[in-house]
Amino acid sequence: MAWAAPFYRNKSVLITGASSGIGRELARQLGDAGAQLTLAARRKDRLQSLAEKMAAAGRYRPVIAECDVTRDGDLERAVAAAVGSFGKLDMVFANAGFGIVAPLKKLVLADYRRQFETNVFGVLRTIYAALPELEKSRGNLAIVGSVSGWVATPGASPYSMSKFALRALANAITPELRSSGIKVTLISPGFVDSDIRRVDNHGTLHPNAKDPISSRIVVPTPTAVREILAAVARGERERIVTGHGKVLVVVERFAPWILRSLTSRMSGIRTKDDTRKWE
């Protein structure tokens, strides 16, 4: 991160989903780099706590924007708060999201709609709200997708569908926005230490729930975020984050039958339906 810090210094940056996980760590590392931050999330108390810690450490005090990406108008207010405080908006991390995970027969259409409302339309709301300011600054747009946008697994169809949609969106708008000077980077993480696997299918956090993924393959959040920030600073079109994520994407691209064979044998999926013991 040291070599990339000058790129972020004095940049006005908006982060959605900044109250936990990747979003919170983005705020911490960008604050260390001297960025001017606007932090957006539903949990205002968490944002305030983070802002106080950053200010006490001598960083720029972040602007706090209570924001639900599924509500019209919230993102426009967050962008206005950033511009009102810093006079510009140079960069956006469209990071807010969660995962609905359950077998098809335990889901209904409303579950898929709820997944897309946050993970896809929430990203679109973020882009539309920020686009006029990013055009002025010829800035950066980072969309946080997932390796699940490359590799779909049984029991996770809503989440995988939403992340496939984000990859299609990023691929389509990258050349469209290039003429405006906006650089788009799609971030596709594998398993990163965050709260996403402790959030149930209705978006409720269970902080004491055990992570169903083995700690041996879960990448520490600071490590993943350093890689994310390096990719955005370089203007990369996409960055697959985590070693296992890179392996899965390579297999999917060049030997997809291997993954088809493996997933056809999958059983005992740790889903997020009402049968899971969260505590």
Positions marked catalytic = 159
User: Distance between CA atoms of 150 and 252, rounded to whole angstroms?
Assistant: 7
Nearest CA to 143 out of 251, 69, 61 is that of: 69
Of 189, 212, 195, give the one whose Cα is nearest residue 273: 212
Give the separation between CA 32 and CA 30, rounded to whole angstroms. 5
Compute the distance between CA of residue 57 and CA of residue 61 in angstroms, rounded to an integer: 10
Which H/E stretch holds residue 130? Answer: helix 121-137
162: its two tokens: 């939403």
Give the tokens for residue 130. 């920020």
Whole-number Å distance between alpha carbons of 182 and 168? 17
